[in-house]
Structures are given as C-alpha cells and as structure tokens.
Amino acid sequence: MERRVVITSAAAISPLGDREDQIMRRLVDGVSGVTRMTDDGLLYSYLHCRVFGAVTYPITYNFSRKYSKTMGPVGFYACQVAKEALEKAGLDKEFISSGRLGVAFGSTQGSPRVQREIFEVFFSKSEFQYQRLNSVDYLRSMSHTTAANIAKLFEITGRVISSSTACTTSSQSIGFGYEAVKYGLQDAMICGGADEYDTLSVAVFDKLLAASHSFNDEPHRTPRPFDRRRDGLVVGEGAGAVLLEELDFARKRGAEILAEVVGFSCCNNGGDMILPSREGIVRTLKTGLDNARLNPDEVDLISAHATATKIGDIIEAEAIHDVYGRGPLVTGLKSYIGHAMGTCGVLETIFTLYMLKHGTAIPTMNLEEVDEKCAMINHLRQVQERRLETASVQNFAFGGVNTALFIKRFQ
C-alpha cells in the first residue's frame, strides 16, 4: 500500500545564510553567495578558477566531545542541519530511537580535509608524524560519515542510507527516504546532504575546463546558467536537511506540513561517465512524472540542475523542452550559491519549498542574454509573485546518474 509523504521541517547552511527569512530575502534581492577564493597554499596557484560559493558566517556547534570527536567539517555541517530540522519538527526522543525514524544522508566523498591530513602523515614516512594519527580519523573522513554521525548523535536505530553519487547525492537521499516512508518501511526519514569546501573539488572541474574563470574579479557575476557568456560552474559548500513523514503520522502529532513529496525518479544514462545525456534526462523526467502521477502541464516550476557549463545547459534545456515544451517556469538556483556538490539537491529543494510557501518564483541570476541554444524553454528572468502548486527539482551527476523530485503545495 502506498502512503502519502510530507515534508515537516527543513534546515540549511548555505552561502546565502542559514535562516529562511535571510535566504529568501537574498534570493528576492538577487544577492550572490559567490566570493573570491583565498590562497590556501594547496593547488590555488595552479587554478584558472578563483571563485567559490562560500559559507562565510560563523556557526555555533554545541556538540559534546563524545559526539564531536568523530566529526570532520562535513560531519559538523550534517549534524547541525539535522539537529535543527529535528528540533523544528518536535519529534520526541522515544520516537527518534524507536526504529521508525531512519537516516538518508550523504556527501560527495566524506571529508577531504581530514583525508588530506591522513595522507600527509602516510607520505611523510615519519614515526613522529604517525603519532599525529587519531584513532577516529577514519570515522571523521569516511564516505558515510554524515549519516553515521547523525545516527550516533540522535541514537537513531532505523535504516541508514548513505548516498555518495556526486551532484545527485542529496536528491537521491530525499528520494530514497521518500520511498522508505511511502512503502511503509519507516514512518519518518531525516534526509539531505553536506559538503565542505575543498580546493581539490575546484581543481577537478578546473582540470576538465568546466570551472568558471572569466569573472574571477567579479565573483557575483558567475555562475551564469543558460547565459550566452557562461563559462563553467562554481564550486560551493553547505548542508541541508528535510524531515519526511507519513501523512497520518504527521497529522496525528500536529506537525506543520510544508509540502508533499509526490514523486521521484532515478535513472542512469548507461553511457559516458561525464557528458550528460539528453535521452537519459528525458527518461528520468518522464519516469518521475509517471511516479508522481502528473501530466507535464501540471508542473508550474522547474529548479534545473543548470550548472552553467557550455554543453550541460544546452542538453538540459533540450531535454526539458522535449518533456515539457515551453510550459513551466525554469530557474537555475546555482546562480546564487554555486554548485554545492552533494548538497545541491537538498538546498535547491529547500529553496523551492520557500518559493511554494511564499508564492514567490525566484529567477536565474546573471541570465543577461539567453544562449540561443537554450532559448526553447520558459526562463524565469525576474521575480514573480504567483501561486505555485507543483515544482520539480532535477539534478544530474558524474557517472550518468539523474534524479527528478516532485513536490506539491500541501492541500
């Protein structure tokens, strides 16, 4: 039996801030969270790209040593947003540890900062340096450190899913959490993703000639999804968490319902590991619409993956047009915060939740002149105050992984 799944709380750490009012105000005002990189002495001098989406404000963590000792930077991010989401939702301790709450949370690669510290010791071949290794360093750096630390912190005994699929990490986490609740495997799931900033992440895309570099002296002008002058993505950082609950369970405990998750799809291109596939994206969007029992004309807004890469934006625009025609409004939210890697899906979902709630459609920033090869879809060019009923968040990752999530205003 299929059950209805709703979102009852959300929390974010993003380059635009960590409070709903602050984030929404900056989105409406067109404020960029992209800034100039600082020289960290690693690969900086070799990079063409010198900008990134940064979390520049202080975050107060109140985790005791018992819990914090197994957290690297990405673990702190993840546990902080999970803590805020669970506190907002008001779930009691008994339920949290009952086995009916699960975790679906991930990151691109664990904590690269901690991994680097480990390798520095390893390659030093020094006994003195070896003494620097900590017995919990692996736990701080492992690929599933976010989910494991959340489960430990809150004594969660339900299922643990830790996706690590690059740019679809957190959208997969939400989708898999949705399926776990929908099919009765759990009554609630805390879902999301986190990624810390690391120069290596920038270097990967810089080496692929896919990172923005033309606006190093004007960081706020990049990335530029769908724009004729776009020149690549901007790496970002942050974390986000949403709590999914079965509808009747949420109603019985009087929870605030922010939106309903009505569909999800995850498909692979079955081909190239890097280049996006028009056919693969089309398949994912159609599968998601079928899962959500929606017609294309019932979707009001699409949060596109929109990385601002030359080829990626064109293929995505073509695929959107193949499925939706020129119907729904299309926005690229990475234009405000950069590409937050494994966190992008959940942050874009949270921003979309805010748009549904406030009846405000946020446009793609820096879209000054639409590339004629991307012009076949309905680009959102300015803020629109309008009632939005249904939205889709779509993300695509290296390895050919595609996701599409569908959320509706609850009624």
pLDDT per residue rounded down to tens, the chain (411 residues): 799 999 999 999 999 999 999 999 999 999 999 999 988 888 899 999 999 999 999 999 999 999 999 999 999 999 999 999 999 999 999 999 999 999 999 999 999 999 988 888 878 777 667 777 888 999 999 999 999 999 999 999 999 999 999 999 999 999 999 999 999 999 999 999 999 999 989 999 999 999 999 999 999 999 999 999 999 999 999 999 999 999 999 999 999 999 999 999 999 999 999 999 999 999 999 999 999 999 999 999 999 999 999 999 999 999 999 999 999 999 999 999 999 999 999 999 999 999 999 999 999 999 999 999 999 999 999 999 999 999 999 999 999 999 999 999 998
Tokens of 299: 């979707």
- Give the C-alpha distances (Å, rounded to integers) separating 379 from 158, 260, 320, 351, 392: 42, 25, 11, 17, 15
Exposure string (b/e) for 177-192, b if CB count within 10 Å is 16 or more? Answer: bbbbbbeeebbbbbbb
Pairing of strands 401-408, 390-397: antiparallel
111 Cβ neighbours under 8 A, 6+ residues apart: 72, 73, 74, 75, 140, 141, 145, 196
Do 54 and 237 meet the contact criterion of CB atoms below 8 Å apart? yes
70 Cβ neighbours under 8 A, 6+ residues apart: 136, 139, 140, 145, 148, 149, 152
Q: Where would I find the beta strands (DSSP E) of 176-293?
A: 188-195, 238-246, 259-268
Q: Where would I find the beta strands (DSSP E) of 67-138?
A: 101-106
Q: How far apart are CA 366 and CA 332, in angstroms?
A: 10
Q: Would you state the pLDDT for residue 128?
A: 65
Angle of the 344-358 helix axis to the 169-182 helix axis, nearest 10? 70
- Give the C-alpha distances (Å, rounded to integers) separating 346 from 14, 220, 241: 11, 22, 7
Give the three-class secondary structure for 145: helix
Angle of the 199-207 helix axis to the 112-124 helix axis, nearest 10? 90
Do 307 and 336 meet the contact criterion of CB atoms below 8 Å apart? no
Query: Which residue matches tokens 């809150």?
Result: 154
Q: Would you state the pLDDT for residue 123?
A: 80
What does pTM read for this prediction?
0.97
Lateral strand order in the sheet of 390-397 = 160-161, 101-106, 188-195, 238-246, 5-13, 259-268, 401-408, 390-397, 301-303, 329-331, 378-379
Pairing of strands 51-53, 34-36: antiparallel
158 phi and psi angles, rounded to 5 deg: -80, -170
Tell me which H or E stretch contains 318: helix 310-324
Cβ neighbours, 10 Å, residue 339: 28
